[in-house]
């Protein structure tokens, strides 16, 4: 009967460990996605600035 308790505790501990591992993986994935999104935002802003610099000055060309 005592072995049933031990086996039950072992299974409970395994389940808790699997749950924590899953939570850690989810958090890591979310952090990675957030970082990727921020990098993409910075790249997009940089590309927009480059595009703005490459556009001809509208006043000097006489167009509006």
Secondary structure element (H or E) that encloses residue 29, with its range:
helix 2-54
**How many angstroms separate the CA atoms of 10 and 64, rounded?**
75
CA 30: distance to chain centroid? 4
User: What region, left, alpha or beta, does residue 62 occupy, with left being phi > 0 and alpha being psi -120 to 50 degrees?
Assistant: left
Distance CA 28, CA 20 (A): 12
pLDDT in tens, 15-62: 999 999 999 999 999 999 999 999 999 999 999 999 999 887 655 555
pTM above 0.75, yes or no: no
């Amino acid at each position: 009967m005592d072995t049933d308790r031990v086996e039950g505790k072992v299974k409970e501990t395994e389940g808790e460990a699997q749950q924590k591992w899953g939570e850690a993986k989810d958090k890591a994935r979310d952090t990675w996605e957030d970082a990727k999104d921020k990098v993409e935002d910075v790249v997009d802003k940089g590309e927009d600035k480059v595009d703005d610099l490459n556009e001809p000055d509208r006043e000097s060309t006489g167009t509006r």
